[in-house]
Amino acid sequence: MVISQPTRSLTPRRLLNHPLTLYLIFLVLMLLKLMWLHHNLHAYNITMGLLDKVIAVGSLLLLSFWTWWLPRRGMILSLVVLNLLLTALIYADMVYYRYFQDFLTIPVLMQARQVDALGDSIATLLHASDLWFFADWLAIIPYGAILLFSRRNRISRLSTTSNGLGNYSHYRGKKRGMRRLTAGGIALVLGLCLAVGPIYFYSKTWAKGLFDNNWWNVSMYNVTGLLAFHGYDLYNYAKDHIGSGPEADPADVEQAKSFFADRQNNASSENALFGKYKDSNLIIVQGEAFMNFMIGQSIDGQEITPHFNELMKESQYYSHFYHQTGQGRTSDADFGANISLHPLAVGSAFVRYADHSYDSLPSILKDNGYSTNVFHAYESGFWNRYTMYQNMNYDKFYSKNDFEQDDPLGWSLSDESFFRQSVQKMDSEVTEPFYSFLITLSSHHPYALPRDKQQLDVGEFEGTMFGDYLQSVHYVDSALGSMVEDLKNRGLWDKTIFMFYGDHDNSIKEQAQYEQFLGRSLNELDMEQIMNEVPLLVHLPDGAEAGTIDQPAGQLDITPSALHLLGIPDEYYHMGNDIYDGSSRTVVLRSGAFTDGSVFYIPSDDYIYENGSCYDLSTRNKTDINACNSGHDEASKRLHVSDTVITYDLIRRFREANSAEPAS
């Protein structure tokens, strides 16, 4: 005899605990968090319309469809865990974007130890209102804990053959299992349709070519949404690192070969400056977050960079010199200046490809009889510097342990002490001619300079990060002045080419503060240049060629230009311009922006060329987008060639091919 079971009414409590209800709550909560993230990006020309929300829902379905195939308790616990993990990921992306205007990637996460050292910098990026992002956890975490540790008795599985309950329970379990299997399958198919379908459509229409030439992760996000972006990033990382690795497209290899062949063929003839300072020492200082907008400026009658301003009188000052960094920030500036290739669109080449072959400035100078040394008073493993600097062929890396911590400040040692100890080491431990590369730290975000080192009255900016930044720059400028005096007193100044440049922007984006400081309104072009221009100062041993140079230049130009002054032909795999050969030049930024001195192109956040802005620099007004067309094509080609060379280690490959060719 089979005993029928009483029908169970669907009460509000049971409805709330129904798997479908809980699954829908999960989807809604995650969608709201993705929408909140997008709202906080404030990205120009990027919207989150209905179709973008559809993609987001589809991505969530693809991430969670499998939970339907678990028993009810397992499904609910899995949704709780997914909520916790996705919330953490979305929030981490939001914080990372506040600083870098970019999203986290696998290569960046490989550099997670970088995050540990950011300390106070990260603290300033956390807002009190962010707590609302985790409000649902107040209910979800206790609910999950209760479910996990609940000891409620389940339906008895004792033998009930006499009354038929065992057979019924078995039948009911199979029926539930089929329903779960069907629901999971529906979620999977629906997710594929909602997410993959629109993304595929975009990639074949207005976003055509994006997956082949993704110069910026924000443009990818505009097509895929955040979760699919991370899925694509994971796919790319697995493709590059599983098995023997990817093979370069033969067409891309030929394009790279052609680029460098054309560069050699079009090299300008030598001029009077070529080799004029042969065998001179070379000192290059990379200033942390040292931007160009405050050079020559004063606040309440006080010069912000008085020592830099004084040094300009006997040096070359490049007033439109651009940092060309990406996610690697300080390491990217180092890479661009010393290797003359564009930094990667994703992650840091220092971390991702430290074992690849490069024509680095220290390696070239070492081959020409120089001792080569790098100075940075921080942990040697940060940004994978220890490994990378060995590959770049530095004789010695003077890191934190090589300096006496006699004046701690911020991240490590004050720039004043850092410069003093570094110059002393150059004078006593290094043989001439030498190349010394120094990386400063005191003006690092969040610019918390101790009171006893604050010498600038920032007036109305007191108590703001902008005011703190001005204080830090003023301090670094003072340390720079002391360093120059020290070099002069030791007899090194008059036989040294000295260069100083900034590494990247200060991550302070508020336009109103720059307008307040400069006393004028700013347009899109003004802000683009402010956030991308850093100063370059070049002092030659005899003080020759002093003056302000308005032609554009960038960090990639440093190595070719230094080689010119030292009389070393640049027959290497470099992409920068020689600022001394008199040729016209184009400076390309990692974002795809570029300038040739007559126009300036600013890409839109969706990275569609026509949606960008082309400015005529003579009028500083927008002009026909077609005026930037040829420059945009050239900029895109350069970035693609550089990425190909770095990713596939083509310099090593080219060299091996050349050495294998029979002598003519």
Residue 340 lies in a domain: yes
For residues 230 and 276, membership in a common domain is answered with no
Same domain, 426 and 482: yes
Q: Are residues 115 and 225 in the same domain?
A: yes
Which long-range contacts link 122-128 to residues 24+ away (Cβ below 8 Å)?
122/95, 123/446, 124/445, 124/446, 124/465, 125/95, 125/98, 125/99, 126/95
Q: Point out the domain boundary residue: 212, 241, 270.
A: 241
Question: Each residue of 73-114: pLDDT tens digit?
Answer: 888 889 999 999 999 999 999 988 887 677 888 877 766 666
Query: Which residue did the predictor score with more confidence, 406 or 19?
Result: 406
Whole-angstrom CA distances from 598 to 65, 549, 583 are: 54, 15, 14
Boundaries of domain holding 611 = 250-660
One domain for residues 300 and 236: no
pLDDT, residue 286, reads 98
pTM for the complete prediction?
0.76
Digit-coded pLDDT (tens) for 635-653: 999 999 999 999 999 999 9
Residue finishing a domain among 241, 270, 299: 241
CA gap 96, 596 in Å, rounded: 31
Q: Write the Ramachandran bin of 515: left for phi over 0, alpha for psi from -120 to 50, otherwise beta.
A: alpha
pLDDT value, residue 394: 98
* pLDDT for residue 172 is more than 90: no
Neighbours of 73 (CB within 10 A): 12
DSSP 5: P
Same domain, 226 and 255: no
Radius of gyration of the chain (CA): 29
pLDDT at 161: 44
Q: Are residues 313 and 222 in the same domain?
A: no
Give the pLDDT band of residue 156 (cuts 50, 70, 90): very low
37 within some domain: yes
On whether both 455 and 472 belong to a single domain, the answer is: yes
Of 241, 273, 300, which one is at a domain's C-terminal end?
241
Asked if the model's pLDDT at residue 664 lies above 60, the reply is: no
Check residue 160 and give its pLDDT: 43
Residue 1 located in a structural domain: no
Residue 661: the pLDDT is 66
577 falls within a domain: yes
Range name among 58-72, 86-100, 146-160, 529-543 with the lowest pLDDT average: 146-160
- The residue among 441, 397, 339, 197 whose CA lies nearest residue 645 is 339
CA distances from 104 to 214, 343, 378 (A): 15, 16, 24
> Same domain, yes or no, for 309 and 421?
yes
pLDDT single digits (tens) 11-70? 555 656 678 888 999 999 999 999 999 988 877 667 788 888 999 999 999 999 999 999
Q: Note the pLDDT tens digit of each residue in 320-377.
A: 999 999 988 999 999 999 999 999 988 889 988 988 999 999 999 999 999 999 999 9
**Is 163 within the bounds of a domain?**
yes
Work out the pLDDT band at 116, boundaries 50, 70, 90: low
Share of the chain above pLDDT 90, in %: 65
pLDDT at 245: 60
- Split into its structural domains, the chain has a count of 2
Helix (H, G, I), strand (E, B) or coil at 588: strand
Mean pLDDT, the chain, whole residue set = 88
115 assigned to some structural domain: yes
Whether residue 129 is found in the same domain as residue 71: yes
One domain, residues 90 and 41: yes
Please tell me whether residues 84 and 104 are part of one structural domain.
yes
First to last CA, the chain: 99
Residues ≥6 apart with Cβ < 8 Å to 40:
94, 97
Q: Is 2 inside any structural domain?
A: no
Instruction: Give the other-Cβ count within 10 Å of 30's Cβ.
Output: 24
Query: Quick one: 271 and 207 in the same domain?
Result: no
> What would the pLDDT profile of 292-304 be if each residue is shown by its tens digit?
999 999 998 999 9
| CATH number reported for the structural domain that contains residue 467 in this entry | 3.40.720.10
* 4 assigned to some structural domain: no
Q: Looking at the predicted structure, is the pLDDT value of residue 659 above 90?
A: no
Q: Do the Cβ atoms of 636 and 213 come closer than 8 Å?
A: yes
Query: Is residue 155 scored above 80 in pLDDT?
Result: no
